[in-house]
Structure 1
Amino acid sequence: MEIIKAGARNEIVKLLSLKKYQVLLVLTGLIGISTALLGRAAKGLIGLLSSNMPNTVLSISTGFILPLMIAMAAADLFTAEQENGTIKAIITRPISRISIFTTKILAIILYIILALLVCLMTSMISSILFSGIGSLNIIETFLAYVVSIVPMLPIILFAATVSQLCKSSSSTVMLSVFGYIIVVAVSTVFPSINPMVFTSYTGWYKLFIGATMPITNILNVLVLLVAYTLILFGVGSWAFEKKEY
């Protein structure tokens, strides 16, 4: 466990040391501010009311921004290290490949949590500035952001699995994003399969908002997302284990 903790810490430091991931966090924070300004300019049109702004930012982030960030992180932690040869030095250490795979996945999860935290802080501050603290349900908003990491897990493992099939970081990003879009498009065209696709639940935080929570629906979605996470972890770690570098 200590090895995995140390490895995850090294991997997240590796990500944050790259300037583009620092810039991405700044841009993520600007989403909350720009959404608030757009909502104020539109005077509540197109659903961008300041009181609902943290949820609007969360919807944009989980549906579009975070999947792109995940694809980029998977490309840099997996494929880019294959390109520059550093992965060879890592796999020769006295640590199993599945542990190495796990540390990289944990690093991506930590980065996405950090991005969500930035979105939460900027959107809440903007909402309070424009509409006052009385317009914001802080506990409900915080809960929505916390649970939103769950549907990101299968997306992270999907991108990590795709990275095992690619030889360049650019192809990993393109194939991950393209694959994500294809899955979303197919589930939209064929609504019957929509409930069975993990990309359909990036907005599952909405189940936690309101006077009553549909516990049965929440549990059903949770089981589905956990199943996808475990399956993709198994496939991705197996591919990482068998890959020759």
Structure 2
Amino acid sequence: MQNLRNELIKLIRKRSTIVLLGLTALIPLLTGPLVQMLQNRFGFTAFDGESFPLAILSLALTFYLPLLLALGISDMFAGEQEQKNLSFLLVRPISRFTIFGSKILCTGIYLFVLLMIICITSLITGAIWLENFTIQGLMLGIAAFILSWFPLMAIGVLFVFLNQWFGSSSKALTFSILLYLVMVVLTYLFPTVAQWLPAYDNNWYQRWMNSGFNLVSMGRSIYLLSWCAMFFTLGFYKFNQKEF
């Protein structure tokens, strides 16, 4: 737990983290008034208080959050290797598994915080600026954001694995983003192939809300768990073999 605490402190103390957290909060807060202005001007309703948070979530899942994940993970792994921070850390009597696991947990917490910031600010924006904001919509919005953590974390574990092959944060970030874009393109062009990739589950929350817990959702849950376990294991194996 001490090592996890240290990882979180390092993350919070970075100026880039504070800037990105602030930007994450600002995007929904600024988008709401803009949406209302456009809807009033053109006389139609594209988004209301219930649908606005889900629309923001959909955009964040497709583009924004994977980018922040890739950025944070590349800095946490390849970036620390590049700056020789891992060399000093490994001098201490801490196992490599503890270090690796702490960084994964830190990534999961960081991702959850990002989701909750977008959730809270988009719900506030929907309640203030847009019509038809209900308690049911509030609960659906919160559930959607919580459910979205799982497939995003699967993508994050893949990014962690990729980072073990690079000693430069910029190279790791570039390759992670390119690979994610390929997965997104495959989702639209070749959905049968894309079913084997975690980016296919960017609409994970929609399936749960539309169908609930059934054999399909249970199967995808098991698959994503297996994906995380596989790339966690492969990532740690590579991390354990590296010389820092």
TM over 0.5: yes
Task: Give the gaps of 5 or more residues in structure 2.
Answer: none
SS in 1 for 2:134: helix
Per-residue deviation, residues 74-125 of structure 1 (Å, max 9, x unmatched): 1111111111111011122222212111101111111111111110110111
CA–CA distance in structure 2, aligned partners of residues 46 and 155 of structure 1:
34
**1:49, CA displacement in angstroms?**
3.4
Q: 1:16 aligns with which of 12, 16, 31?
A: 12
Match of 2:66 in 1: 67
Please give the root-mean-square deviation of Cα atoms over the aligned residues, in Å: 1.9
Instruction: Find the aligned partners of 2:169 and 2:79 in 1 and give their Cα distance.
Output: 5
* Residue segments in structure 1 that go unaligned for 5+ positions in a row: none
Corresponding position of 1:103: 102
C-alpha deviation, 1:69, in angstroms = 0.8
The equivalent residue for 2:159 is 159
Deviation at 1:45, TM superposition (A): 6.2
- The 1-side partners of 2:45 and 2:4 are apart by 41
- Correspondent of 1:31 among 27, 34, 37: 27
Work out the CA distance in 2 between the residues paired with 1:86 and 1:203.
Answer: 37
Q: Distance in 1 between matches of 2:7 and 2:28?
A: 27
CA distance in 1, matches of 2:44, 2:115: 25
Partner of 1:180: 180
Task: Report the alpha carbon displacement of residue 26 of structure 1 after superposing the two structures with TM.
Answer: 1.0
Structure-1-length-normalised TM-score: 0.91
The 1-side partners of 2:88 and 2:100 are apart by: 14
CA change 1:157–1:46 in 2 (3 A) is: farther
Q: How many residues align?
A: 240
Partner of 2:139: 139
Q: Give the superposition deviation at 1:19.
A: 0.9
Read off the aligned partner of 2:34 and give its amino acid letter: L
Give the counterpart letter for 1:161 in structure 2. Answer: F
Measured after TM superposition, the shift of residue 46 of structure 1 is: 8.9
Change in 2 beyond 3 A, CA 1:171/1:45 = farther
**d(CA) in 1 for partners of 2:232, 2:3:** 18
8 Å contact from structure 1 (residues 79, 164) kept in 2: yes
Match of 2:144, SS state, is helix
Amino acid at match of 1:7: N
Letter in 2 for 1:195: Q
- TM-score by length of structure 2 reads 0.91
User: Within 5 A, what are the aligned runs for 1:74-153?
Assistant: 74-130=73-129, 131=131, 133-134=133-134, 137-153=137-153
Following superposition, the deviation at residue 21 of structure 1 comes to: 0.9
Instruction: Letter of the 1:153 partner, please give it.
Output: M
- Would you say the 8 A contact 2:52–2:122 is kept in 1? yes
AA in 2 matched with 1:15: L
The CA distance in 1 between the partners of 2:65 and 2:46, in whole Å, is: 21
Residue identity opposite 1:6 in structure 2: Q
Q: Which amino acid aligns with 1:91?
A: L
In the TM superposition, what is the alpha-carbon distance from 1:148 to its structure 2 partner?
A: 0.9
Q: Equivalent residue for 1:203?
A: 203
Query: In the aligned structure 1, how far is the partner of 2:91 from the partner of 2:165?
Result: 21
Partner of 1:54: 53
